[in-house]
Amino acid sequence: MIAMAKLKTRFPRKALLGYRKSGNNQSSQISENKMLRMFLDFLVEDAFKNPSSLTPYTEEMAKEMDELLKGVEIDWD
């Protein structure tokens, strides 16, 4: 078993977390970092409050993800 986990959250499926990029690259990078930090903080807090909501990330799940992403190319720029 892999040490990652998938969380089932108490938020409705239609909940959306987003941000608006500004024209300033440095400013948008800071904004992206803040949003990521807020999201990760939420996940950790929820995991501690509701440990029973964690589902182990299995090899089968990893294989499914690999299959879904097969042939997908990432533009890193």
Confidence of residue 66 (pLDDT cuts 50, 70, 90): very high
**Which token pair is 46?**
């929820």
> For the chain, what is the mean pLDDT?
75
Is residue 65 within a helix (H) or strand (E), and if so which, with residue range? helix 59-69
Share of the chain above pLDDT 70, in %: 61
Which three-class secondary structure state does DSSP give residue 40? helix
pLDDT at 8: 52
- Counting Cβ atoms within 10 Å, is residue 61 exposed (0-12), middle (13-18) or buried (19+)? middle
- Strands 5-7, 54-56: parallel, antiparallel or unpaired by DSSP? antiparallel
Write the pLDDT tens digit of every residue in 1-33.
344 444 455 544 444 445 455 556 666 676 778
Please state, in angstroms and rounded to a whole number, the distance separating the CA atoms of residues 8 and 42: 12
